[in-house]
Amino acid sequence: MSEDLSFWLSYFTNGKHLTWYASFQFTIFAALFGGTLAVIFGLIGATLKNSRLFPLRLIGTIYSSIVRGVPDVLFFLFFPLAFEQAVEWFIASQVCAPELIAAQSAAWPPCKEANWFLGTPEYLILASVSLGLVYGAFATNVIHGALRSVPKGQLEAARAYGMSASQLLWRVHIRQMWVYALPGLSNVWMLIIKATSLLSLLQIADIVLWADRLGAPNFLPAVGLVHEDWRWRYYLVLFIFYIIVTLLSERAFEAIMRRAGRGILSEARG
Amino acid sequence: MERLFQEIALFGPAVAFNIYFAAASIPIGFVFAVFLALGKASPNPLISRLSRGYIYAFRGSPLFIQFFMLYSLALSFNVTVWKPMGLSWFILHPLFIGPLVLTLNTAAYTAEIFYGALRAVPRGAVEAARAYGMSRSQQFRRVIWPNLIRLAWPAYTNEVVFLFHATAIVYFALPVIGQQKDLMITAKELFERDYNAFLHFSVAALWFLAVSLVVFFLFGLVYRRLMRHMPAAPGLRFAPKWLR
C-alpha cells in the first residue's frame, strides 16, 4: 500500500509531470491576456462602428462581420504566421543585399539574415493577440449593443450638466455600458477559455501537447513497460479541468453582474 | 487573378470534407438534441440531472479536447475490442470518429437552444391543448414542437454555421489519411510549400464564408416556410452571433 503510494507520488512528480503542471501557465496567460485584448479591441471596434465618419464605421463593421464569418482556428493560425512574415519582409527590405537574396534557395525568408526566430514567449504573445483579435470581433458586437442599451435619459442628463462629448463618453456612457455588456462578455470569455486549447497548433508546449506526450505508451529499458497508452486518461483530466474553469468563471461572472447591477433596474440584469 | 481562380479550384475537393463532416453530424445531432432538451425539462430527477450534466460537460469543454479524448479512448480499446471484431478500420477512421464527436458536441449546444425554446412555448397554448383532451404525445406533436422549432430556428441556424466552422479543427486532432484533406490542412500544406499565407488562408476563409452564406440562405428558406402563417414573415440575416 505505502509502496503503491510512493510509486504514484514519484510518478506524478517526475520531471515530465512537473513540466506539464508548469505549462498550465501558458494557457492561463493566453486566456487572461487574450481576454483583456478582446475587451480592448471590442471597445475600439464598437467606437469605430459608432463613429460619425463613414469610412471608420465601415472598418468597424467589416472587422466585426468578417472575423466572425470565418472559423476562429483559421484566423488564430493566420495572424501569427502573417505577422511573422510581415516583420521578416520588413527586415529583409533593410538588411538583404541582392546577392544574398539570389543565394537563398528556400522560398522564405528572402535571405538568411532576415529570419526572425520565434520562441515560446513570442508565439504566446502572438497567440494572445490573435485570440484578442478574433474574440474582439465578438466583443465589438456585444459592446456595440450595450452602448445602445444605455438609457437615453442618462446621456441627456450628462449633456445638460455641460459635459463635453469625451467626458460624456468616458464618464457616463462607457461606465454605464458594462452592466449591459457583462452577460455577452461572459459568453465571449467562455469562448476564449475554450480557444486556449488550440495553443499547441502554434508550437507552444502547452497542456494539450504534454498530456499527449505523457499519455503515450511509456517504455524504459531499465524498468520495462511503465504504462501502456494512457492518453485518454490525461485528456479526461483536461476535459474536467476545462469544465471546472467554466464553472468557476460562470460563478465569478454571476457575482460581478450582481455587484455591477446594484441599484439598477432588474431589466438590465435579464 | 488567374492564380486566385486556380487556387479556389484547388480547394474544391477539400471543402467536400468539411461539408461531409457537418452534413453527417447535423441530422443525428438534431434528433439527439431533441431528446436531451426534453430530458433536461423532464420531471424525473435522474433523467434531468443526466441530461443537464451531459449538456454542461460538452458545452463547457473545448471541442479540441473532446476530439483527442474520444479518439484516444477509441484507440485504447483497439487491441481488445475493435481488432478482434475486425472493425478497427471503421471505428478509427476520421470519417467516422469526426462526425461522431461533432454529433456529441452539437447535440449539447442544440439541446440548450431547444431547452430555452421549450421554456418559451406559450403556456396558454399548452393549456388549451390539454383542455381539448389531447394526450401527451399529441400535445407534443401538434402544439409544443411546432412552437418550439419556430422559436429555436434562428439560433439553430447560428449553431449550424458554428458547427461548420468547427469542422476546421477535425484534422488537427485526427490523422490525415492519404489525400483526404479538409480546407485547413490544404491551406496549411500549401503554406508550408511556398509560404504565401495571405493567398492560401484567404482562399480557405472565402470557402468557409461562401458555405456559411449558403447555409444561411437555405435555413432562411426553411424559416420562411415555418413562418408562412405570419402576415409578414421575418427573414434571417447573416449575422453569426456571439452566443454559442
- In order of their start, the domains of chain A are 2-268 (1.10.3720.10)
Q: pLDDT value at position A234?
A: 92
Question: Would you state the CATH architecture of domain B2-226?
Answer: Orthogonal Bundle (1.10)
Out of B68, B194, B209, the one facing A208 most closely (by C-beta) is B68
Q: pLDDT value at position B233?
A: 56
Mean pLDDT over residues B179-200, rounded?
87
Contact assignment for B66 to A239 by CB distance below 8 Å: yes
Q: Band the pLDDT of A270: cuts 50, 70, 90.
A: very low
What is the value of pTM for the model shown? Answer: 0.88
Q: pLDDT value at position B242?
A: 44
- Rounding to the nearest 10 degrees, give the CA dihedral for residues B170, B175, B181, B186: 90
Question: Identity (one letter) of the amino acid at A113?
Answer: E
CA of A153, closest CA in chain B: separation in Å?
28
A88 in contact with B at a CB cutoff of 8 Å? no
**How much of chain B exceeds pLDDT 70, in percent?**
95
Instruction: Give the residue, A119 or A140, on which the prediction is more confident.
Output: A140
* B:168-187 residues touching chain A, CB 8 A cutoff: 168-169, 172, 184, 187
A107 in contact with B at a CB cutoff of 8 Å? yes
pLDDT per residue as tens digits for the range A173-222: 888 888 889 988 999 999 999 999 999 888 888 899 998 888 888 777 77
Residue B31 has pLDDT above 90, yes or no: yes
**Range with the lowest mean pLDDT among A126-130, A237-241, B194-198, B207-211?**
B194-198
Q: pLDDT value at position B79?
A: 83
* A:52-81 residues touching chain B, CB 8 A cutoff: 65-66, 68-75, 77-78, 81
In terms of C-beta density within 10 A (0-12 exposed, 13-18 middle, 19 or more buried), how is residue A258 classed?
A: exposed
Out of B76, B165, B205, the one facing A232 most closely (by C-beta) is B76
Q: Band the pLDDT of B238: cuts 50, 70, 90.
A: low
Q: Which residue of A has its CA nearest to B212?
A: A69
Helix axes A231-260, A174-195, angle to 10 degrees: 170
Compute the C-alpha angle B226/B16/A192, nearest 5°. Answer: 75
Task: Name which of A64, A77, A200, A247 to mutate to probe chain B: the one with the most chain B Cβ atoms within 10 A of its Cβ.
Answer: A77
Residue A219 main-chain phi, psi, to 5 deg: -125, 125
Q: pLDDT value at position B156?
A: 92
A197 in contact with B at a CB cutoff of 8 Å? yes
Mean pLDDT over residues A159-166, rounded?
90
Helix axes A15-50, A207-215, angle to 10 degrees: 150
Residue A163 has pLDDT above 70, yes or no: yes
Residue A268 has pLDDT above 80, yes or no: no
Out of B56, B72, B197, the one facing A85 most closely (by C-beta) is B197
Residue A106 has pLDDT above 50, yes or no: yes
Mean pLDDT over residues B27-56, rounded?
94
Out of B63, B69, B205, the one facing A70 most closely (by C-beta) is B205
Contact assignment for A231 to B61 by CB distance below 8 Å: no
- Let me know: does A245 contact A65? Beta carbons within 8 Å: no
Can you tell me the distance from the alpha carbon of A90 to that of A113, in angstroms, rounded to the nearest whole number?
Answer: 12
**Range with the lowest mean pLDDT among A97-101, A228-232, B67-71, B123-127?**
A97-101
Contact assignment for A77 to B76 by CB distance below 8 Å: no
Can you tell me the distance from the alpha carbon of B95 to that of B178, in angstroms, rounded to the nearest whole number?
Answer: 13
Mean pLDDT over residues B159-165, rounded?
92
Mean pLDDT over residues B16-38, rounded?
94
pLDDT per residue as tens digits for the range A32-83: 999 999 999 999 999 888 888 888 888 888 888 888 888 989 988 999 888 8
C-alpha separations of A98 from A86, A101, A117, B195 in Å: 19, 5, 22, 20
Q: pLDDT value at position A189?
A: 93
Residue A146 has pLDDT above 80, yes or no: yes
Q: pLDDT value at position A251?
A: 94
Predicted ipTM? 0.87
Cell numbers placing A27? 494557457
Q: Domain residue spans in chain B?
A: 2-226
Identify any residues that bridge with A218 across adjacent strands, giving them in sequence order. Answer: A227
Question: Identity (one letter) of the amino acid at B135?
Answer: S
Q: What is the 3-state secondary structure (H, E, C) of chain B?
A: CHHHHHHHHHCHHHHHHHHHHHHHHHHHHHHHHHHHHHHHCCCCHHHHHHHHHHHHHHHHCCHHHHHHHHHHHHHHCHHHHHHHHCCHHHHCCHHHHHHHHHHHHHHHHHHHHHHHHHHHCCHHHHHHHHHCCCCHHHHHHHHHHHHHHHHHHHHHHHHHHHHHHHHHHHHHHCCCCCCCCCHHHHHHHHHHHHCCHHHHHHHHHHHHHHHHHHHHHHHHHHHHHHCCCCCCCCCCCCCCCCCC
Q: Work out whether the CA dihedral A76, A79, A82, A84 comes out positive or negative.
A: negative
Q: What is the 3-state secondary structure (H, E, C) of chain A?
A: CHHHHHHHHHHHCCHHHHHHHHHHHHHHHHHHHHHHHHHHHHHHHHHHHHCCCHHHHHHHHHHHHHHHHCCHHHHHHHHHHHHHHHHHHHHHHHHCCHHHHHHCCCCCCCCHHHCCCCCHHHHHHHHHHHHHHHHHHHHHHHHHHHHHHCCHHHHHHHHHCCCCHHHHHHHHHHHHHHHHHHHHHHHHHHHHHHHHHHHHHHCCCCHHHHHHHHHCCEEECCCEEEECCCHHHHHHHHHHHHHHHHHHHHHHHHHHHHHHCCCCCHHHCC
